[in-house]
Structure 1
């Protein structure tokens, strides 16, 4: 089950990655006309509407993205089936359709159906479409119906299945919606404390990928909170809307880069150069874009106590920002780019106070991490025992440089060394990647040489099952994955 949920989280990365485009468009539009929201400038109106076309249709993006990501072969017909599935259920369960089915006035329809076009239904549609593709994409029909065989059959069967799903949701969705509303109200009713609890569990769930499920409740329009959408659309309450986003800025822009500096200063002298390159890249990614996985995976498994401390500090940061009603928002993550773009939005409330809070958190992160690392001798990057290759003065890292020079690709050497460490063709059964990690299936975990993989400078290794391993490369993981795929095809 955990593996399946992680695959869902990876599939969601494709549609989520589109959100920065909306953030840039809407942010520039509001920057041009922050008061009129486009009324005072045709250019601003053009940009804002273009951005809202993405924000307002996230559920469709989720349906298509999940269907594509969960299907074998990542085929386009699976994505089309995801769209078909979503259109069937949302049309049948739209308020007007439900009114006709029940023979009542539109005003009397359960309000749950007003929210049927949400991310939950989008994800559900994508999952069903992917399952139909994986099961029926190779089915051969009799000659008279041969045109509809294989991949052409998938959207048709998906539409039929969604008729049954729509019937079930007709009765179940109001109950699900009520439970989600109650859950959201319970958290939102706790005010700053609720924001703090959300921040804490958001970080704790990062290793499993289940933080996406938690985020969907608060960030998107599943239960009506829609913190991201409302903040960027300006349809909320100043000082309140954005409370589930604002507290991440001090952590991602300041706290985690300071933790990276602490881990660099705590590394062994002979390993500082290697650690410096890792921490500089990961810290910059966290500050500039809000992508924190390269940095978090560098210590969450080798020093889990530090990761719990990080989660606690994140919760405290969200609680503080919410208490003082300092708000800013993001389209992708809480980095510098989104902070600048959101700082002039109508619902941004004293956003620059988040920078002062961030400076304070940088000090706390730095000294707390350094103290805990030294006090408990935590094996953060650069403090681990020397590998055999390092003791012998070379090994995989040197070989990687040679490979890179001979092929002309700076990623080939790293990819070749990682693939060799994974056991090569004899052991690797599949390779995939998300935004920062290689996700690999192997035949025998005992054949994996973790020291050889770590010697390439990766941020971390996560064994998630008896046959599943993740290699945290960073934001350039796509290029490494491409090179590994070339090696596998040779």
Structure 2
């Protein structure tokens, strides 16, 4: 039972990537649109105050805010596509149809049973408009629930076929036929059931928000501690996109979730100070500053003869963390050889968020310096207190450096550059990666006789094609399910394919490749003879 539960959570976490990873792009574009309408910026640079630029900014930010008000639909389609085992495009289309059926079924049932409140009394009633239709306000949970149900029905009945005159009702048509009564029945049931869930969720949100800095610390610590399992998305997603992260009215519309509120507030010129919900998205201190201090400590504690190699390895990893917020190559450099350092790192991440909260800092940098500059600088000091964010970051750079250097020396941790003879714990330098990728591309196009392609090496290290059940990827990891995890060769994956970490949990295998994971996934799919997404 435990293995099945973990496998289900792993698959759900992978599916969440589809909608979650696209939303930061919308946020960045909203921030860019806000730049062209920032009063202080236009005063400083009056040549930007022209209708074509301000109009473009208004259209850009205004149009993308609509994504935030339709997260239910986005999550419904995204999760269904992520969980579908085959015919993913058809699964997504079916999810869209199911969502439309649910919304209108609930509206009609609430109308018949006199549950609908008047349109001018929606505020605080627990009801809202979804695609212009008035139903219960279930937020992103509606998309998650329908996505899970649609994916289950799709996977169970997509291969159903009939003979004779009923043949046209097989496959995807039968999936939709089965889904309709389920969705309608669900709409009726949730009309009575959901208010109790909503009360429980709101109560939990109240407890968390009233737990003060303890809640903030636990959130920040768990968000890092669950990195090895790949389930950390299940910690921060509810806070960023549901009422657990706060509820606020911005520009006459109600938004739920820290990131949704933040995006709405930065797009609204009338907002003079960002709300405190932003603390649930202030995760950039450890990425932009802390892990840089950790890298410097590991470099200084490396053996003298290895420092040149360590510098070549850690500098690209540190730059990636600082610029893009991709931390796993650094974290996996000490996660397995010194787990205590990883626990300390998670605790410091939580402590950094508490520090920002105590100092009333509203600046964020969830994905590195690029996000930090786009989101905070144009908004000004009054809205974000971004200079204090930088000072806190510098302080945590020093804290990470001192703590990591002390613990590495105290416990003689075999961090990078301190390995015993015959052992190697390494990341891949930029030059090594380029050489590896060049060889991989060359071998994929025209491999030498008897020499396997890089994708072939990966597949063989995973136990061979017959051992691989599914292949997917997230932002930095190749995620697979295998028949027998004991056949996975971790050393080959690390030393010959550029992986900076391998995590095995039952039949779930995660191989950390960083930002190039997309090209790795495509190469593996091609080698296995599978269409992408099969």
> TM above 0.5, one fold?
yes
Q: Which residue of 1 aligns with 2:490?
A: 450
Q: 1:130 & 1:39 partners in 2: Cα distance?
A: 48
Q: What secondary structure, in the 3-state scheme, does the structure 1 residue paired with 2:126 have?
A: helix
Is 2:239 the counterpart of 1:206? no
Q: What secondary structure, in the 3-state scheme, does the structure 2 residue paired with 1:463 have?
A: strand
| Residues 409 and 170 of structure 1, relative CA distance in 2, 3 Å threshold | farther
Q: What secondary structure, in the 3-state scheme, does the structure 1 residue paired with 2:413 have?
A: coil
Q: Which residue of 1 aligns with 2:335?
A: 300
Work out which of the residue numbers 218, 223, 226 in structure 1 matches 2:257: 226
For residue 81 of structure 1, report the CA deviation from its aligned partner. Answer: 1.9
Q: Which residue of 1 aligns with 2:408?
A: 373
Q: Which residue of 1 aligns with 2:529?
A: 489
Q: Which residue of 1 aligns with 2:250?
A: none
| Residues 488 and 240 of structure 1, relative CA distance in 2, 3 Å threshold | same
Q: After TM superposition, list the pairs within 5 Å mapping 1:228-243 onto structure 2.
A: 228-234=259-265, 238=274, 240-243=276-279
Q: Render the CA deviation track for 1:251-282: whole Å, top value 9, x for unaligned.
A: 11111233233334444566656655553343
Q: 1:39 & 1:77 partners in 2: Cα distance?
A: 45
Structure 2 runs not aligned, ≥5 long: 43-48, 129-135, 248-255, 426-432
Q: What secondary structure, in the 3-state scheme, does the structure 1 residue paired with 2:113 have?
A: helix
Q: Which residue of 2 aligns with 1:393?
A: none
For residue 385 of structure 1, report the CA deviation from its aligned partner. Answer: 5.0
Q: After TM superposition, list the pairs within 5 Å mapping 1:157-236 onto structure 2.
A: 157-223=178-244, 224=247, 225-234=256-265
Does structure 1 retain, via aligned residues, the 8 Å contact 2:205–2:243?
no
Q: After TM superposition, list the pairs within 5 Å mapping 1:268-307 onto structure 2.
A: 275-276=310-311, 278-307=313-342
Q: After TM superposition, list the pairs within 5 Å mapping 1:13-162 onto structure 2.
A: 13-35=17-39, 41-73=54-86, 75-93=88-106, 98-102=110-114, 105-106=117-118, 107=121, 111-114=125-128, 116-162=137-183
| Residues 401 and 301 of structure 1, relative CA distance in 2, 3 Å threshold | same
For residue 419 of structure 1, report the CA deviation from its aligned partner. Answer: 2.6
Q: 2:169 & 2:514 partners in 1: Cα distance?
A: 42
Work out which of the residue numbers 293, 315, 339 in structure 1 matches 2:372: 339
For residue 388 of structure 1, report the CA deviation from its aligned partner. Answer: 8.5
Q: Which residue of 1 aligns with 2:281?
A: 245
For residue 241 of structure 1, report the CA deviation from its aligned partner. Answer: 3.4
Q: Render the CA deviation track for 1:182-229: whole Å, top value 9, x for unaligned.
A: 111111113333322221222222333333233233211344351111
| Length, aligned pairs only | 479
Q: Render the CA deviation track for 1:320-375: whole Å, top value 9, x for unaligned.
A: 10111111246xx3311211121133883211211111111111112212222232
Q: 2:362 & 2:125 partners in 1: Cα distance?
A: 29
Does structure 1 retain, via aligned residues, the 8 Å contact 2:217–2:353?
yes
TM-score (norm 1): 0.87
Q: Which residue of 2 aligns with 1:323?
A: 358
Q: 1:388 & 1:368 partners in 2: Cα distance?
A: 25
| Residues 269 and 239 of structure 1, relative CA distance in 2, 3 Å threshold | same
For residue 307 of structure 1, report the CA deviation from its aligned partner. Answer: 1.5
For the aligned residues, what is the CA RMSD? 3.3
Q: 2:460 & 2:288 partners in 1: Cα distance?
A: 36
Q: After TM superposition, list the pairs within 5 Å mapping 1:390-429 onto structure 2.
A: 405-407=442-444, 414-429=454-469
Q: What secondary structure, in the 3-state scheme, does the structure 2 residue paired with 1:165 have?
A: helix
Work out which of the residue numbers 494, 501, 507 in structure 2 matches 1:460: 501
Does structure 1 retain, via aligned residues, the 8 Å contact 2:455–2:520?
yes
Q: 1:112 & 1:103 partners in 2: Cα distance?
A: 11
Q: Which residue of 2 aligns with 1:440?
A: 480
| Residues 336 and 446 of structure 1, relative CA distance in 2, 3 Å threshold | same
Q: What secondary structure, in the 3-state scheme, does the structure 2 residue paired with 1:241 have?
A: helix
| Residues 74 and 350 of structure 1, relative CA distance in 2, 3 Å threshold | farther
